[in-house]
Amino acid sequence: MAKAIAEGLKGEIEFEVVGRDEGKLKEFAENFGCEYSLLDGYDITGKIVLLTVKPYALQEVSMRIKGRAEVLISILAGKPLVELQKYIEAKSYIRAMPNVAAKYKASTTAVTGDEEAREIAFKILGKIGEVVWVSNDDEIDMATAIIGSGPAFLAIIAEAVSDAGVYTGLKRDVAAKLTKGLFKSFAAMDEKFSDIKDSVMSPKGTTAEGIKTLEEEGVRGKIMKGVVKTYEKSKKI
């Protein structure tokens, strides 16, 4: 996610990358046109910190830095605001959940935290896509199952649709192009999901046949179960 966010922010906001491995830091800095600093002893005083490490590394990172940040924006799944406050000092705290589309400036990012930091969070994260404010930690965890993990779920669905196109006789590249176009078209439609379905599903039509089969196979329930299980896992990290 760090690279995806950096790609989205490149040319939009000046930033520096901080880490432990100087070799990797140099490569990162060259790729994204930014400065870099080593983690050990790094002073976060007065800075806006975007924390993009793995959740398990939170405590270790906190032991290597010093000072008090102006704003801490964390994308760590399953790490509530109270835990961030325990380990890293900051005037204001924000939790955010973007997705890998950040590198295309097309992420949808859920955000919660201190109201006084809301504007700066929207300003920064708005550079990588749309930002949605949610009420609390639990809603961020719910959003993680949709926004953060969702691209993987949709990739499976897209692959299945494309494979079905190949099975029926389309060339692989044509099936893939049509499937990507389908997702792009769907994203542009602003109606309720049920209205979109109803507008396509005519009586005794081809779509009706497909919907009947999907419902018989329990696809809807399995997708819902996958999202719920993802949410439950995020609470255990």
Q: In this predicted model, what pLDDT tens digit does every residue of 135-148 receive, in sequence order?
A: 999 999 999 999 99
Please state which architecture CATH assigns to domain 2-134: 3-Layer(aba) Sandwich (3.40)
Q: Please name the residue that has the structure tokens 């859920």.
A: 110
Q: What is the pLDDT of residues 145-196, one digit of tens each?
A: 999 999 999 999 999 999 999 999 999 999 999 999 999 999 999 999 999 9
**Residue 64, pLDDT score:** 97
Q: Which amino acid is at 100?
A: V
Instruction: Specify the 3-state DSSP secondary structure of 171.
Output: coil
pTM of the model: 0.89
CATH assignment, 150-234: 1.10.3730.10
Find the angle CA(59)-CA(64)-CA(68) to the nearest 5 degrees.
90
Instruction: Specify the 3-state DSSP secondary structure of 68.
Output: coil
Distances in Å between the Cα of 28 and the Cα atoms of 2, 62, 202 are: 10, 22, 52
Distances in Å between the Cα of 147 and the Cα atoms of 8, 12, 128, 201 are: 17, 23, 14, 27
Q: Which amino acid is at 35?
A: E
Provide the residue ranges of all domains of the chain, joining segments of one domain with +.
2-134, 150-234
Return contacts of 156-164, CB within 8 angstroms, 24+ apart.
158/183
